C-alpha cells in the first residue's frame, strides 16, 4: 500500500523519507513490510489513545519537557513559528 500511495503522489522513496525525517533505507524497510518494534508500539499506542478520544498529536502537547513539544509537533506537521497549528491547546 505505501508504495502505491507514494507513487500516486509522484514521490521517490528518497523524497518521502526526507519529508518524514527518516533514512531512505528505513523507509524502504517499511514499504517492504519490515516493521520495527517501535512502529508496532506506536500503532498500538495510537489505538489505545483513539479509544480514549485522543491521538498521537494530542500526546505531543503533553510531553514532559516543554522544549520537546515544538520539535515533536513540527515533526507531526502541527507547529509553526507562530505556535501550534489547528489546536486550541498550547502549553499546559
Tell me which residue range forms the domain holding 60. Answer: 37-80
44, part of any domain: yes
Same domain? For 13 and 44 the reply is no
Task: Give me the mean pLDDT over the 53-79 stretch.
Answer: 65
Distances (CA, A) of 65 to 3, 34, 88, 91: 36, 31, 20, 11
Beta bridge partners of 80: 83
Residue 66 or residue 34, greater confidence: 34
Asked whether 60 and 76 are in contact (CB, 8 A), the reply is: yes
Highest-pLDDT range among 12-16, 43-47, 82-86? 12-16
Burial of 22 (0-12, 13-18, 19+ CB in 10 A): middle
89, part of any domain: no
pLDDT at 87 over 60: no
Instruction: Please give the tally of structural domains in the chain.
Output: 2
92, part of any domain: no
The model's confidence at residue 53, banded by pLDDT at 50, 70 and 90, is confident
63, part of any domain: yes
In tens, the pLDDT along 29-42 reads 989 988 778 788 88
Same domain? For 27 and 44 the reply is no
Same domain? For 42 and 75 the reply is yes
Residue 63 or residue 87, greater confidence: 63
Amino acid at each position: 500500500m505505501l508504495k502505491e500511495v507514494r507513487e500516486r503522489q509522484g514521490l521517490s522513496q528518497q523524497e518521502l523519507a526526507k519529508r518524514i525525517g527518516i533514512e531512505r533505507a528505513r523507509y524502504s524497510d517499511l514499504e517492504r513490510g519490515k516493521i520495527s518494534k517501535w512502529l508496532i508500539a506506536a500503532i498500538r499506542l495510537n489505538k489505545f489513545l483513539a479509544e480514549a478520544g485522543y491521538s498521537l498529536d494530542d500526546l505531543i502537547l503533553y510531553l514532559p519537557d516543554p522544549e520537546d513539544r515544538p520539535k515533536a509537533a513540527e515533526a507531526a506537521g502541527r507547529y509553526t513559528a507562530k505556535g501550534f497549528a489547528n489546536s486550541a491547546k498550547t502549553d499546559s
